Chain A
Amino acid sequence: MTEQKTSINRRSFLKSSALAGGGLMLSFTWLSAFKLPGEAGKPDVPNWIEVNGYIKITADNVIKILNPNPEFGQNVMTSLPMIVAEELDADWQKVVVEMGPHDSVKLGPQFTGGSNSVRMYWKPLREAGAAARTMLMQAAADTWKVPAEELTTNAGLIVHPKSMKSGTYGEFAAKAAVIPVPKEIKLKDPVKFKVVRSSQKNVEGLKIVSGKPLFGLDYKQEGMLIAMIVHPPAFGMKLKSFDASEALTMAGIKDVFLQKLYPDGFEQGGFDTRSFNDMLVIVGKSTWQVMQARKKLKAQWEPAGDIKDIIGGRGGKKEVIVPGELESTDAQHKKMQEFASKPAQQLRRDGDPETAFKNAAQIIERTYNAPFLAHNCLEPINFFAHVTAEKALVAGPLQAPGWSEPTLAKLLNLPADKIEIQMTRMGGGFGRRAYGHYLYEAAIISQKLNAPVKLMYTREDDMTYGIYRPMYTAIYRAALDANKNLVAFHVKGGGIPEHPIHANRFPAGAVDNYLAEGWQIPSNITIGAFRAPRSNFNAAAEQSFLDELAEAMGKDPIELRLELLQRAKEKPVGKNNEYDADRYAGILKLVKEKSGWNKAENKKYSRGIAAYFCHNSYAAHVVDLTMKNGQPYVERVFSAVDCGIVVNPDAATNMVQGAVVDGIGNAFYGKLTHKDGAAEQTNFHNYRIIRMNEAPKKVEVHFVQNNIDPTGLGEPPFPPVFGAVANALYRAYGKRLYEQPYGPQIPQQTMPDVKRKPVKSKLILNKRRAQ
């Protein structure tokens, strides 16, 4: 057993203990704000005794564990409370789970994103459970007048074996709540875990399959109005004038008005963002009435010109000029080609790459491109707000309440303690809901109307608003000597409006001469985090390039990676290499074994391999491609993942399977383009999302078994899917694909009956190069 100091805010513990000591705590009941058909006003179980911020227990032994972090499908409502239950030694089947309130003092950072939930809460939640268990045991020891060391616990029961006494946690909860938090907390040895590492069902499963109100769009309050915002039709445009006279005569319409989101000169937080500042707001009684009336709104738009933004946040205050140009995808491609040949910012340099390339026997150079992507969460952007002169209640789907609260307080001119943020279940997030602009929009509209308001984006509003995955490009170059050894590696990446390069990742550290460079082009098209930001492009480009490199070197693609990783382990080049070469090699070996990489029986598939490290975890996939109705079809996928200890294995498997399906879909079809500033895809009829008939028959997921603290899972399995798909398509068609999405690039030919021999890739010979 390890003994360690608690890392939990002790003040919050003591504060909650004192509260509990002053009487019985009433639980947090945000669900009661819903109008539940048939069960309106159903009271919550009263008389909760709050043991600490995460745990409440009733005298009759109902144990409630609060989930601190917003749920967007990564299953934290189940997995985070499981961690508490493990150390608390509670009977998981009897635990009641509830979404916690926004309370960063008691419940921590409360941020969903960056594959951080389990990683960041792992230790605090274990300590919360262990501390509560210790306090409950002390309460029993005091009552029975026996030494606490003689007590044991078992699934919510405290036992004193010597005297045969036993009692439930509930019996001692009130007493435990006033016991000081222990200074030293003993945590379990991971090999003794009972709840963690066992597969447990989603605690909200029944609510989901029976259609209970869980999501932001389901949130209701008496007298609530529906608001929509008519945004400009293109990036770079703004409202010139509008005529609402006809719309205002339509049934149910209450108001149409123009409102600024951020006042002039407002300092935005780093994640506030917005695509358009002028909100043309239409408000009415019901969703359909507002949808109909907005069609009758007559608005004239004009070019906005360059706009100056003031952005605060972690990097400090800075002024950003947003260019006014009405951008089109073709022109963006041309501009990117221009920038790609200009000098760029050096991000990392090892050895002497220029000389190595100059002296190389052979140079391979390839350029990869990828478009903007829309998140397309199936629940469109929405938020509820009820703002009065004294306080604000806002509720809805939000990944980072703690980031949004300061801006909301400033915009509403209310102190933070008068703002209540409730986090509903999110119908998808993928990074999109880390940006708080829509919460502010809802709150400002409610404040102006002095009424409860639900702001709702239609699918078209959602898809065309922005905050996309950026548009990326990268040139990869490799230098081989006469013996086909890799002597230099160069990556130069750029994007609109940011470059994708992670300079300190593999194969940095494995090549003597290495250069990474980045450049970026400003744009008015807004971007944001999209499941594994930047990695989701790099893994496609870099892992395709490594596949091509292996072929040029006459090596098996897995063996090439393993050799490079061996080099990085034994004699690492340079500093700050982010990855652990052993763990990286581990997933490659595991996926090689589980996929039967070299087995003859698998030769009937066009197989592609890719691996990647991001968000502190490692993932590799082998994609097995066949043909279905004349189209390439990913029939099977083998996945190997090292994310440390897996809290809930079946749910984790589900997440990896979903990431694989999401990756296949975006690799084949994901694309958002612009014409004169306007998004050309507006709904699912022209933005293609992967569907049931395109999903693999099997995605077999294997986790590396170790006792490393959890290191994140929502994002890591996603990026390498792109590379594995690209490499499998090459095996099927004998042609490398460099442009995403791959679907439209696939050679239009009938299904090849026999797998074609791959065409030898054309290598650029150094001496033939013009410059």
Chain B
Amino acid sequence: MITLNINTKTYNVDVDPNTPLLWVLRDELDLVGTKYGCGVAQCGACVVHLNGEAVRSCVTKVSRAEGQKVVTIEGLAEKHDHPLQVAWQEVDVPQCGYCQSGQIMAAAVLLRENKNPTDADIDAAMSGNICRCGTYLRIRSAIHAAAELQRKTT
């Protein structure tokens, strides 16, 4: 049994400790907002927060998350109103939408560390996340919009 703290809830899962966190989230806990895209830490669709840091859950063993604090897209904000989630809808970023939870989770760490990121900051922080539909311009806009929302509310 491995005890996990995900989105402030406690879960006990009976899995091989080498199982990537991604598959525990998706197969065992029905938290399917975290996506599988490549399995080798190349696309960023599976980004979650482990103790506040963005990690690729497809290459993060579940044993590494034991007793740590995990946040997924489902738990980023209780009412799904994180400035990024608001801005993403306001800018109408998604096309197919598949990569967007990973994009938002990566952007959330950037925005926490850098309250007013420049385009260059965004390019550097977000180049690990592939969007096959090519919504990058809108992701940039939405991160700027979220930064402004964040400044207004804090």
Chain A interface (Cβ < 8 Å from any Cβ of B): 35-37, 72-75, 201-202, 204-206, 208-215, 217-218, 220, 226, 251, 286-289, 291, 376-380, 425-430, 458-459, 650-651, 654-655, 657-662, 665, 683-685, 689-693, 695-699
Contact = CB atoms under 8 A, between A and B. Distances in A.
Contacts of A458: 39
Interface in B99-131: 99-101, 104, 119, 122-124, 126-131
A708 to B, nearest CB: 25
Contacts of B85: 206, 209-210
Is chain A's binding surface mostly helix, strand, loop or mixed? loop
11 contacts: A206-B80, A206-B89, A217-B36, A287-B27, A376-B132, A377-B96, A378-B96, A427-B35, A654-B135, A684-B37, A690-B136
Interface in B1-52: 15-16, 19-20, 23, 26-40, 42-43, 45
Contacts of A427: 35, 96-99
B72 A683 contact: no
A32 to B, nearest CB: 15
Given A209-B104, A220-B30, A658-B133, A288 B20 contact: yes
A654 B96 contact: no
B68 interface: no
Contacts of A429: 96
A37 B132 contact: no
Given A428-B133, A662-B133, A684-B40, A288 B23 contact: yes
B97 A655 contact: no
Contacts of B134: 657-662, 665, 690, 695
B138 A657 contact: yes
A204 B94 CA distance: 9
Contact of A209 (B30, B39, B43, B88): B88
A536 B129 CA distance: 25
A205 B135 contact: no
B54 interface: no
A590 B34 CA distance: 42
Among B29, B98, B135, max chain A CB count under 10 A is at B98
Contacts of A697: 119, 137
Nearest to A664: B134
B74 interface: yes
Contact of A202 (B39, B92, B136): B92
A66 B100 CA distance: 25
Among B16, B90, B133, max chain A CB count under 10 A is at B133
Nearest to A204: B97
Contact of B80 (A201, A209, A377, A689): A209
Contacts of B27: 226, 286-288
B36 to A, nearest CB: 7
Nearest to B19: A288
A73 B96 contact: yes
A689 B99 CA distance: 14
Contacts of B96: 72-73, 377-379, 425-429
Nearest to A696: B137
B136 to A, nearest CB: 4
A657 to B, nearest CB: 6
B56 interface: no
B144 to A, nearest CB: 12
Nearest to B26: A287
A658 B95 contact: yes
A692 B122 contact: yes
Contact of B136 (A215, A286, A661): A661
A659 B128 CA distance: 20
A685 B40 contact: yes
B97 A214 contact: yes
Given A73-B94, A209-B104, 20 more contacts: A36-B30, A201-B92, A215-B98, A286-B27, A289-B16, A377-B96, A428-B132, A459-B40, A657-B138, A659-B134, A662-B133, A665-B134, A683-B38, A685-B40, A691-B130, A692-B122, A692-B126, A693-B123, A693-B124, A695-B136
Contact of A377 (B40, B122, B132): B132
A210 B95 contact: no
B132 A378 contact: yes
A333 B65 CA distance: 50
A211 B32 contact: yes
A698 B35 contact: no
B75 to A, nearest CB: 9
Q: Which 10 A-B pairs have the closest CB atoms?
A: A211-B33, A661-B134, A427-B98, A73-B96, A695-B136, A211-B73, A73-B95, A684-B42, A208-B97, A658-B134
Nearest to A699: B137
Interface string B77-92: 0001000110011101
Nearest to B98: A427
Among A205, A429, A659, max chain B CB count under 10 A is at A205
B34 to A, nearest CB: 7
A35 B92 CA distance: 27
A90 B104 CA distance: 33
A80 to B, nearest CB: 16
Contacts of A226: 27
Among A427, A651, A690, A699, max chain B CB count under 10 A is at A427
B122 to A, nearest CB: 7
A213 B19 CA distance: 22
Contacts of A684: 37-38, 40, 42-43, 130
A692 B40 contact: no
Contacts of B132: 376-378, 428, 430, 662, 689
A210 B124 contact: no
Contacts of B138: 654, 657
B98 A75 contact: no
Contacts of B104: 209
Contact of A695 (B20, B37, B38, B137): B137
A291 B19 CA distance: 10
Nearest to B130: A689
Given A73-B97, A288-B20, A428-B96, A692 B123 contact: yes
Nearest to B124: A693
A306 B93 CA distance: 47
A685 B43 CA distance: 9
B28 to A, nearest CB: 7
B39 A378 contact: no
A5 B70 CA distance: 59
Contacts of A286: 15, 19, 23, 27-28
Contacts of A657: 134-135, 137-138
A214 B42 CA distance: 23
Contacts of B139: 692
Nearest to A219: B32
Contacts of A379: 35, 37, 96, 98
A251 B98 CA distance: 30
A85 B130 CA distance: 35
Interface string B53-68: 0000000000000000
A509 B63 CA distance: 67
Nearest to B96: A73
A35 B30 contact: yes
Nearest to A72: B96
A379 B96 CA distance: 10
A437 B141 CA distance: 39
Contact of B89 (A37, A209, A695, A699): A209
A206 B88 CA distance: 9
B147 to A, nearest CB: 16
Contact of B94 (A205, A220, A661): A205
Nearest to B126: A692
A658 B135 contact: yes
A37 B97 CA distance: 20
B98 A287 contact: no
A620 to B, nearest CB: 18
B72 A378 contact: no
Contacts of B39: 291, 458-459, 683
Contacts of A650: 92
A650 B42 CA distance: 30
Among B39, B92, B119, max chain A CB count under 10 A is at B92
